[in-house]
């Protein structure tokens, strides 16, 4: 729940429900929709209580129109339409991608950053030019989050709290950087090739003792993040931008920033990270990292 006005905007409530329903296959549309239908009214009530608001205080009902999985989107849209009619308030359809970006700008205070949008379903490099968002580059096949999630199944890594988080923790113990396919085509990236390669090579390499599971996680993470940083920095150069904002579920993986964007850059870059809750114990936060020469961190909430 967000309060918006010309001089002061803030997230005033952000309750969530557990994602413990996730199966080993990941988010399935039918199960996700069932989860949303079961918990949405409780989450709505908690939002109003947390924000200390009554329905009469609400100005409009915003909901995610898409893109995304049809069944969960429809489940939430039905509730949003019902509330709009009950409370006699207008509905505002929000683009999923733009919602990530604008929430990130709200939380971090970013001005006009180059955006790296990375999640389980999306991988795009975006910038705002001439009154609209422009896509400078994107994946030509699968999203980076989907690549990480599918590799987690190869190693039988737990979904609790999320596959990407667990890969990151294992990668911290990796010692050996393996050479993996690195596919950048202009401003676009491809992750299907590296995923196919590592899926096929993993059983053989582990059986032969050539590397550990931690080495594989480390190598995959380093390679895919390097690809993303390359195309994002190219977009920043094109837009003469010194700000980059990382949004989406993969933004929760701390390894992707800030050092990744300053390794080969001499000037000051401001890295804004919009972290979303992936599991019940997490908090919604935005961080701005000015680097180099100085670092400054702040929590949005």
Cis-peptide into 189, omega within 30 deg: no
183/179 Cα distance (integer angstroms): 12
Strand partners, 204: none
**Better-scored residue on pLDDT, 14 or 31:** 31
Percentage of the chain with pLDDT > 70? 75
- Measuring CA to CA, how many Å separate 32 from each of 24, 85, 289? 13, 25, 34
| pLDDT computed for residue 23 by the predictor | 55
Choices 3.40.50.300, 1.10.357.10, 3.50.30.30, 3.30.420.40: CATH for 99-291: 3.30.420.40
Count of beta carbons in the 10 Å neighbourhood of residue 245: 28
The radius of gyration computed from the CA coordinates of the chain, to the nearest angstrom, equals: 20
| pLDDT computed for residue 60 by the predictor | 93
Mean pLDDT of 119-125: 90
Nearest of 91, 77, 80, 185 to residue 138 by alpha carbon: 185
| pLDDT computed for residue 1 by the predictor | 64
Which CATH code fits 2-89?
3.30.420.40
Half-sphere CA count of 47, side-chain side, radius 13 A: 18
- Measuring CA to CA, how many Å separate 131 from each of 72, 76, 125, 152, 243? 30, 29, 17, 40, 18
| pLDDT computed for residue 74 by the predictor | 95
Decide: 272 and 112 in contact? Cβ < 8 Å. Answer: no
144/131 Cα distance (integer angstroms): 28
Q: What angle do CA 283, 284, 289 make, to 5 degrees?
A: 110
pLDDT band at 5 (very low <50, low <70, confident <90, very high): low
Q: Using DSSP, how many helices (H) and how many strands (E) does the chain show? A: 7, 12
- Per-residue pLDDT at 257 exceeds 70: no
| pLDDT computed for residue 24 by the predictor | 54
The two beta strands, 269-275 and 285-291, are antiparallel
10 Å CB burial of residue 274 (0-12, 13-18, 19+) is buried
Among 128-137, 146-155, 198-207, which stretch is predicted with the lowest mean pLDDT?
Answer: 128-137
Tell me which H or E stretch contains 199: helix 192-208
Cα 44 versus chain centre, distance:
23
Nearest of 157, 147, 158, 151 to residue 122 by alpha carbon: 147
Decide: 126 and 98 in contact? Cβ < 8 Å. Answer: no
190/147 Cα distance (integer angstroms): 10
Residue-range domain boundaries for the chain = 2-89, 99-291
Decide: 152 and 167 in contact? Cβ < 8 Å. Answer: yes
pLDDT in tens, 94-115: 998 888 888 888 877 888 889 9
pLDDT band at 201 (very low <50, low <70, confident <90, very high): very high
Per the structure block, which two tokens stand in for 256? 């992707």
**Better-scored residue on pLDDT, 99 or 137:** 137
């Amino acid at each position: 729940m967000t309060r918006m006005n010309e001089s002061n905007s803030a997230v005033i409530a952000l309750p969530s429900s557990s994602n413990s329903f996730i199966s080993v296959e990941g988010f399935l549309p039918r199960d996700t929709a069932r989860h949303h239908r079961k918990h949405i009214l409780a989450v709505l009530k908690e939002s109003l209580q947390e924000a200390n608001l009554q329905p009469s205080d609400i100005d409009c009902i915003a909901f995610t129109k898409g893109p995304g999985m049809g069944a969960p989107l429809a489940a939430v849209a039905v509730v949003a339409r019902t509330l709009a009619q009950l409370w006699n308030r207008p509905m505002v359809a929000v683009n999923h991608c733009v919602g990530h970006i604008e929430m990130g700008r709200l939380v971090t205070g970013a001005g006009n950053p180059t955006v790296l949008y990375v999640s389980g379903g999306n991988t795009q490099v975006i910038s705002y030019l001439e009154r609209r968002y422009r896509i400078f580059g994107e994946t030509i096949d699968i999203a980076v989050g989907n690549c990480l999630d599918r590799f987690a199944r190869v190693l039988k890594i737990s979904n609790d709290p999320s596959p990407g988080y667990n890969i990151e923790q294992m990668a911290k113990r990796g010692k050996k950087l393996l050479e993996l396919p690195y596919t950048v085509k202009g401003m676009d990236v491809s992750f299907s090739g590296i995923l196919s390669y590592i899926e096929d090579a993993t059983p053989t390499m582990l059986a032969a003792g050539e590397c550990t599971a931690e080495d594989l996680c480390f190598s995959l993470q380093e390679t895919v993040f390097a690809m993303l940083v390359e195309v994002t920095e190219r977009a920043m150069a094109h837009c003469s931008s010194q700000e980059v904002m990382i949004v989406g579920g993969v933004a929760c993986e701390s390894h992707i920033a800030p050092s990744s964007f300053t390794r080969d850059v001499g000037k000051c870059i401001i890295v804004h990270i919009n972290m979303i809750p992936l599991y019940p114990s997490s908090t919604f936060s935005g961080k701005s990292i000015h680097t180099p020469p100085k670092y400054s961190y702040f929590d949005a909430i």
